Amino acid sequence: MKLLFCRLQPTSGSRHGQRGSALAVEVLLVAVAAAFFLALFLRSYQDVPIPLALTLDASTEGLEERWSGVYVGPEKIGYAVTRTAPRRDGGRSLSERTQLRLTLLGEPNEITLANDLNVGPDGRVESLVAQVRTTVQGLPVTLRAEGRANGRGMTLQLFQAGNSLTTLDLDDVPATPASLYPSLVESGELQVGKTLSVPYFNPLSLSRAEAVITVLDQERAVDPAGQTVDAWRLKVETGSQAMSALVAVDGRRLVEEELEGGLGMRVLLENREDALNRGWPEDEAQSVDLIALSSIPLSGRLPGGGRGLRELQLSIHGPEAVDQLLQAAHGNQWDADKALLRVAVPDPQDSPSYPLPETGRALRPWLRSTTFLPADDPKLKTTAGRIIGAELDARDAARKLNQWVYRNVKKVPVAGFPQATEVLKSLRGDCNEHTTLYTTLARAVGLPTKMAAGIVYSESIFEDGAFYYHAWPEVWLGDRWLPVDPTFGQFPADATHIKLVEGELDRQLELMGVIGRLKVAVADSPDSAPASSEQGP
């Protein structure tokens, strides 16, 4: 699973439901996509799509089939089909497939998302299977979740690459994009002016979260068959992301789209012919590149392409969420009144450092082992120990780990939940994989480390330099947190690394509310002295 569009540096010598049960908002923000809970911002490179057949045959008695087109502005980038069939006991079965055709850095990509579930006569989801399939360098990649109701809740098992990541017992039964809106309509609780709080499962934090659905109005709308129908206008808010949805009184989603800027993602109800054939770009080479679309142009120039800058002052404008994120990440270095951020890269040699392992109680949160950062895994601990050898100085150990990850992990985009044991096995990935592996290896040797995400400047992706979404680690050096970048091979990371959030991958979801909404300008001439002699290309 990816939230960030990371800039990939070349390695040496290369070029490169039910009411109130759970959220099922199908955001489908492209590779910013949410298909149930397996795909929010997915990225992959692939040559051949892997189709997932619908589990409900078209000849099934009583079957209903609905098609939708997925768009970035006026351009189609995918389609979805949902089949629903009644069961003899009064329940229903649902099967949904979404096919996305994406362009990333000029490369065509396809991603298939699938949801299959059974809903009981009482409207409760009894079982579900959710999948994402793609390929990475010709190899299939599958993310999968299987759930089964147990009383009022559900037991959910998450898989990646055929291996079980974790098993969870949920108090609520998750819904899916296919079942949310019909369930809301059937509940009878939709009234103009009413606000509903809807719990949902966040797969990145492995925890329960809340969405807010506000009923704005009742409207008359025209469906794909040309029929005028009554519909509900809804506002759906999940964290910092807001969407508008127009839902027919029979539960059909007519329109779903981003609010307040963003990347202009829309999902429109269409007939089968239009969903499959209308709206695609005439020339695939001219498709909207999602990396370019999500980039943030910089007003002004940075010396040396920004690499190695020790100090930097930027003027940053955006929605209210940006101010909140910058205040939390940078404290008094962010002047909200002037919209001015000052970034100063500390010199690692100015920190006192300390002998490993760190055992202080206050730093335990950044030493702990988690599902995606299993610092107590024997293979990871052995690898980390081999990398640092007899080195016990925290600063020097952090540097060795940074060099090792930079030199040994191949820089390729990967779709999936970055999980350290899988990254160690494959030794490939983008900034999330580099950051996940580094953080876990560092914690394994007793070096407190946390994950940061935000934006970074680059002039090597497209002709004009811009900021792109990125992730990197921060290590504790005795008196401060030092940003480092194993993707770029920087120790420390240069001043163009603008942190917006910190924490595990679930915190990256907070960036959804700012993507496509930022404006950045150079406030003055920064100090161009290099942050260190270790700089990636």
**Distance, CA of 165 to CA of 417 (rounded, Å):** 10
Q: What is the mean pLDDT of the chain?
A: 80
What is the reported pLDDT for 96?
Answer: 87
Neighbours of 304 (CB within 10 A): 12
pLDDT of the residue at 493: 97
pLDDT digits (tens, 9 = 90+) for 4-59: 445 444 333 333 333 222 222 222 332 333 332 333 222 222 222 334 466 666 66
Q: How does pLDDT run across 371-387, given as a tens digit for each residue?
A: 889 999 999 999 999 99
Percentage of the chain beyond pLDDT 90 is 42
Q: Which contacts of 153-157 are long-range, i.e. CB under 8 A and separated by 24 or more positions?
A: 154/125, 156/201
Burial state string for 179-215 with b = 16 or more CB within 10 A and e = fewer than 16: bbbbbbbbeeebeeeeebebbbbbbbebeebebebeb
DSSP 204-222: TTTEEEEEEEEEEEEEEEE
* 470 bridge partner residues: 454
Residue with token string 């934006």: 455
CB 155 within 8 A of CB 169: yes
% pLDDT > 70, the chain: 76
pTM here is: 0.78
Q: What is the pLDDT at residue 23?
A: 25
As a whole number of angstroms, the longest Cα–Cα distance in the chain is 74
Which residues, at least 6 apart from 419, have a Cβ–Cβ distance to it below 8 Å?
160, 165, 371, 372, 374, 436
pLDDT in tens, 160-185: 666 777 777 777 665 555 567 887 88
Q: What is the pLDDT of residues 339-375, one digit of tens each?
A: 999 999 999 999 999 999 999 999 999 999 998 899 9
Q: Which range in 107-121, 143-157, 244-258, 429-443 is most confidently predicted, on average pLDDT? A: 429-443
Distance between CA atoms of 339 and 333, rounded to whole angstroms? Answer: 11
- Helix or strand (DSSP H, E) at 260: none
pLDDT at 536: 46
Burial of 443-475, coded b for 16+ CB within 10 Å and e otherwise, reads: bbbbbbbbbbbbbbbbbebeeebbbbbbbbbbb
List of residues 6+ apart from 182 with CB closer than 8 A: 250, 251
- Residue 452: predicted pLDDT: 96
pLDDT at residue 526 is higher than 60: no
Q: Per the structure block, which two tokens stand in for 137?
A: 């360098």
Q: What is the pLDDT of residue 175?
A: 54
Tokens of 390: 């007899």
> Tokens in use for 460?
């090597």
Q: How open is the CA angle 380-6-534, to the nearest 5 degrees?
A: 70
Of 424, 442, 419, which is closest to residue 379 (Cα–Cα)?
424
For 144, residues 6+ apart whose C-beta sits below 8 A from its C-beta are 38, 129, 130, 131, 132, 158, 159, 160
Take residue 63 and report the two structure tokens written for it: 């079957």
Beta strand extents in 52-206 (DSSP E only): 64-72, 75-86, 92-104, 107-119, 125-136, 139-150, 153-160, 163-170, 195-202
- What pLDDT score does 516 carry? 79
The answer on pLDDT for 326 being more than 80 is: yes
Whole-angstrom Cα distance, residue 530 to residue 495? 10
Report residue 292's pLDDT band, with 50, 70 and 90 as the boundaries.
Answer: confident
Helices (H), 389-427: 394-408, 420-426
pLDDT at 30: 28
How does pLDDT run across 194-241, given as a tens digit for each residue?
998 876 655 545 556 677 899 999 999 999 889 999 999 999 887 667
